[in-house]
Structure 1
């Protein structure tokens, strides 16, 4: 959770149309972090001792997908 609470998304305007776009240089780090987090959550979901934590793990998977 600490990894995600400190993430900032940087946007820029697209030419003169005023549409917002995510800046490419910052999005690469976010995508890598998301992939790593989903892999970790997937391994936690497959753990047979996850019963007390399963609802919270599923909530985080839902938020990241």
Structure 2
């Protein structure tokens, strides 16, 4: 699963609350990726963790 974030984060938000949540989500994914580098052999674990965070942010 690949998450792509464009320059929309830099431009002034239409809905400030939503954009803040997205930026927070972006940072969280980066942090989780760096922590899970050690578990590279367990790709399923990385996928599952990222997906769980993604699901929490969506709902």
TM-score, normalised relative to structure 1: 0.40
Which has the larger helix fraction? 2
Which one has a bigger Cα radius of gyration? 1
TM-score, normalised relative to structure 2: 0.43
